[in-house]
Amino acid sequence: MNALDHPTGAPAPAPTSAVATPADGSVAQWTDRYSHAVMDTFGPPQRVLVRGEGAYVWDADGKRYLDLLAGIAVNALGHAHPTLTAAVSAQLGTLGHVSNFFGTPTQIALAERLLALAEAPEGSRVFFTNSGTEANEAAFKMTRRTGRTRVLALQGGFHGRTMGALALTSKAAYREPFEPLPGGVEFVAFDDVAALEEAFSPAAVAVRGEVAALVVEPVQGEAGVRSLSPGYLVAARELTARHGALLVLDEVQTGVGRTGSWFAYQQPEVGGGIVPDVVTLAKGLGGGFPVGAVVAYGERAATLLGRGQHGTTFGGNPVAAAAALATLGVIERDGLLENARTVGALLRDGIAGAGNPLVDGVRGRGLLLAVQLARPVAADVARAALDAGFVVNAVAPDAIRLAPPLILTPDQARDVVAFFATVTVPEEPAASAPARAASGTADPAPTTVPTTRSS
Ligand SMILES: Cc1ncc(COP(=O)(O)O)c(C=O)c1O
C-alpha cells in the first residue's frame, strides 16, 4: 500500500481544513480574528503564516520569508519536508495512537535510536513526553526520587512553563505570578565554578542538605545564547558525582543537531567528554511534530521513576515517534550536523566580519547563534528583518537569535549576512515596540523594547 493511501484502500480523503490562501483573508484580517479567538498570552502575532517549504515560509498576504527561527529551534528539516511528511502520514494511516498499556515498533525503535545517539551505557532508558517542559518536569520528579530535595539550577536558565520546570527557571517575572512553586530549588551564578563548589561545600550541605541534582543548559538559549566556559560541565560532573547528585542537562534547545552535534555536551569543548545522568530533549526532535524525551543514563537514573510514578497519555505516541525517527534519519542521511557547523560558521563569521557598526559580535555554536547588537534595538532589527523577508528573534533587548533549519544553504546564509551587513535602525529605540518580537511572549516587565521568550 502506498504510504499516503487510506488503509481501506480508498484514496485519502481531502483534508477537512484546506491550507489558507490569501483569498481566505489577509494578514490583517487573520490577526484581527486571532485577537478575538486566541488567549492573549503571546501578544499579537507578527504575521499570520499559511505555508512553508524548505527554509521559507509565506504569510497570508503571499509574502515570503527566510525562516531563521524555525519555530524556535524546532523545524530541523525546514518546512514540509517530504520524508517527514510521508513518515507521519504513513504512521497515522497505519496506527495513530495507542495507550501506554501497549508498545509500538516506532516508539521502541526511537528509544533505541536515542540511546545509541547518546552513547548511553548499559541499563539506560528513555521516557517520552510531548514537549520540553514535560521532559524537564519528568526529570524534576526523578530528582525527588533520590530521597533528596535540594536542586541546583543556573541563573538565567530557562526550563519551561509548567510548575516544576518553572521552579527550575530563574527569571522572576515568569515565576512570581505563580508562586508558590515546588520548593527546594536554589539558583547558582551562571558559569561560576566557585559558586558551584560553594553550593556543594560542607557548610552549605550542613545547612541546606545534600544536593539531589544540578540542572543546566549547555548553552542557555532563552537567556540570549550564552555558552558555558569549557571546563564548567567537567567541574559540574566531578562535583555532582562526588556528592552522589544527578547531573541533568537540558538539551531541549541545543539537542538534535542544533549546535552541530547530536547533543551539545558531546562536543569536547562543551562537555569535555562527560557522561551526564539525564538529558532532556524536545524542540528539534520531531522536526515540527510535538515530541520530547528524557534520556536516563545508566541503571540508577533509569530506575528512579518506578511503575505508576509518572505517565502521559500522548508521550511515546507512534506518530510522534515516527516523526522523530524520520527527522533523525534525515539529519544523518543528509549530513546536517556537518551542515549546521559549516553554515553556522558562515553566518557567524560573515555577520561578525561585515563591518556594520550596529553589530558587536556573534556568539553561539552551529546553528544556534546570537548577534550581539551595539545598542538595545533588537526589536527594531527584528522588525526590519521581517520587512526585508527574514524571520529572526529578538531574544534580548540587544541580541538577535538565529536558529534556522539545519538545511539552511550557504547561499541562504549569504543572504542573511547581506541583511546584517546593511541593516540600520533609528538612533533611539522605538517608544513602544509591539508586545512580541519574532518568537516570544512579551516580557511582562514594563520595558520599552521587549525582551522575548518562547513558548
Ligand atoms: C532549554 C529549554 N528547556 C525547556 C524549554 C521548554 O520547552 P517547551 O516550550 O517545549 O515546553 C525550552 C523552550 O524554549 C528551552 O529552551
DSSP secondary structure, 26-68, as one string: -HHHHHHHHHHHS-TTS-S-S--EEEEEBTEEEETTS-EEEES
Say what the pTM is.
Answer: 0.92
pLDDT(162) > 60: yes
Q: Which of 140, 253, 452 to mutate to test the pocket of ligand 1 (most atoms within 8 A of CB)?
A: 253
| Cα(271) to centroid(ligand 1), Å | 20
Alpha helices in 210-317 (DSSP H): 232-242, 268-271, 298-302
Neighbours of 146 (CB within 10 A): 19
Give the burial string for 53-90 (b: 16+ CB within 10 Å, else e): ebbbbbbbeeeebbbbbbbbbbbbbbbebeebbebbbb
Per-residue pLDDT at 179 exceeds 90? yes
Q: What is the mean pLDDT of the chain?
A: 92
96 closest CA partner among 1, 6, 18: 6
pLDDT above 80 for 448: no
The average pLDDT across 34-48 equals 97
Ligand 1 atom nearest the C-alpha of 72 is 14
Ligand 1 pocket member 251 (CB < 6 A): no
How big is the chain by its Cα radius of gyration, in Å?
Answer: 22
Query: How far does the centroid of ligand 1 lie from the alpha carbon of residue 61, in Å?
Result: 30
Q: Is the shortest distance between the CB of 454 and ligand 1 below 6 Å?
A: yes
For residue 427, the model assigns a pLDDT of 80
pLDDT in tens, 2-33: 333 333 444 444 444 556 666 689 999 999 99
* Mean pLDDT value across residues 140-155: 98
Average the pLDDT over 149-161 and give the result.
98
User: What does the pLDDT read at residue 436?
Assistant: 44
The rounded Å distance from CA 26 to ligand 1 centre is 31
Q: Which residues pair with 172 in a beta bridge?
A: none
Query: Is there an atom of ligand 1 within 6 Å of 75 CB?
Result: no
Is 326 within 8 Å of 332 (Cβ atoms)? no
Distance 386 CA to ligand 1 centre (A): 24
Does position 62 have pLDDT exceeding 60, yes or no? yes
Which residues are CB-contacts of 9 (< 8 A; sequence separation ≥ 6)? 1
**Locus of grid cell 532589527:** 381
Quick: pLDDT tens for 279-320.
999 999 999 999 999 999 999 999 999 999 999 999 999 999
Ligand 1 atom closest to residue 254's alpha carbon, by position in its atom list: 1
* pLDDT value at residue 326: 98
Q: Is 412 in the pocket of ligand 1 (CB under 6 A)?
A: no
**How far, in Å, from the CA of 159 to the mean position of ligand 1?**
5
Averaged pLDDT, 183-196: 98
* The predicted structure's pLDDT at residue 429: 53
Contact indicator for 22, 31 with CB cutoff of 8 Å: no
Q: Sorting pLDDT into bands at 50, 70 and 90, what band is 67?
A: very high
Task: Please write the tens of the pLDDT for every residue from 88-130.
Answer: 999 999 999 999 999 999 999 999 999 999 999 999 999 999 9
Residue recorded with cell 546564509:
413
Say how many Å lie between the CA of residue 421 and the centre of ligand 1.
Answer: 31
